[in-house]
Amino acid sequence: MQQPTLIESPHLVEPGKPIDLSTTPTDGNGSGLSKDEAKRLTGKHLKRLDELQEVLVAERKHAVLVVFQAIDTGGKDSTIRGVFEPLDPQGVSVASFRVPTPVELSHDFLWRYHMACPPKGHITFFNRSHYESVLVERVKEIVPESVWRGRYAQINEFERMLASEGTTILKFFLHISKKEQAQRFRDRLTEPEKWWKFNEADLAERRQWDVYQAAFQDALNHCSTPWAPWYAIPADQKWYRNLQVAEIVRKKLESLDLCYPRPDPGLKEKISGFLSALDEE
């Protein structure tokens, strides 16, 4: 497997260099950027992403898998909408993973995720992902530690295999503060159009904040690799979050040296003949 290009970012979880989420920023206000400037820059990245996606589809040499994980209200849905909505929907898909079905449970834990991975020329966004197996299943004690602890290595090898077969992988942990989560829950409960998002289990999940943070931290530290790096994105401000995700994905696609496929021999003459025929009509 060719050594992949790691996109530099202050939010890269460098492989082999553990991070501590308790001291990792959730706030992007220290960037020195205004909200308006961040939105302007995001727009530039999105325009370039649109151009790159067209070449990605035409070349059909690379697949791109973008993984989003976050605590409840972390912003997975709104990031996918806010950053990637301008892309051509024919070359994009979103896979969301809920409670496994009986059929999915009858297979190995990676089966349903592998089935949803992108084909070449396509970008797929995982809204939650194969990391649920070392997050929710760990926190809720669905599987014993002897099982989930061994899954870090299995996940790394799964991602290595995908990368070796032409899949570019980027993983984003949308890192919000407990205070910001509380505000987002308040917004849900005070705006009737958001009541459909309310779940009575949310409060119980919030009480396990520290346990979830420990699980996220272990996932990032065990599974940020050169072929599938994690980025811990400060996500308290949506404008800063969107800017960082858009910039990293744009830079990654540019690093692939995408190019339109070479035309078949004689195509130029065929096109010339077709245009002449049109002119004669």
Question: Is residue 4 in some structural domain?
Answer: no
Average pLDDT of the residues in 204-208: 91
Is residue 2 one of the residues assigned to a domain? no
- Which CATH number do you get for residue 58? 3.40.50.300
Number of domains in the chain: 1
Determine, yes or no, domain membership for 7. no
| pLDDT band (50, 70, 90) for residue 32 | confident
User: Can you tell me the mean pLDDT for 5-32?
Assistant: 93
Q: What is the pLDDT of residue 2?
A: 60
- What tokens were used for 136? 């929710």
Residue range of the domain that includes 65: 12-280
User: What does the pLDDT look like over 222-267, one tens digit per residue?
Assistant: 999 999 999 999 999 999 999 999 999 999 999 999 999 887 777 6
Sequence-separated (6 or more) residues with CB below 8 Å from residue 19: 13, 217, 220, 221, 232
How many CB atoms are located within 10 Å of the residue 107 CB?
12
In a domain, 72, yes or no: yes
Region 58-66 average pLDDT: 97
Asked, for residue 99, whether it belongs to a domain, the answer is yes
Place of tokens 């797929």: 124
Q: Is residue 1 part of a domain?
A: no
Position 196 scores a pLDDT of: 83
Distance CA 139, CA 211 (A): 7
Give the Cα separation of 222 and 47 in Å (integer): 34
pLDDT tens track for 63-99 = 999 999 999 999 999 999 989 988 999 999 999 998 8
The pLDDT score that the predictor gives to residue 213 is: 98
End-to-end CA, the chain = 53
196: left (phi over 0), alpha (psi -120 to 50) or beta: alpha
230 alpha-carbon distance from chain centroid: 9
Residue 111, in any domain of the structure: yes
Tell me if 3 is assigned to some domain.
no
Query: How many Cβ atoms from other residues are within 10 Å of residue 188's Cβ?
Result: 17
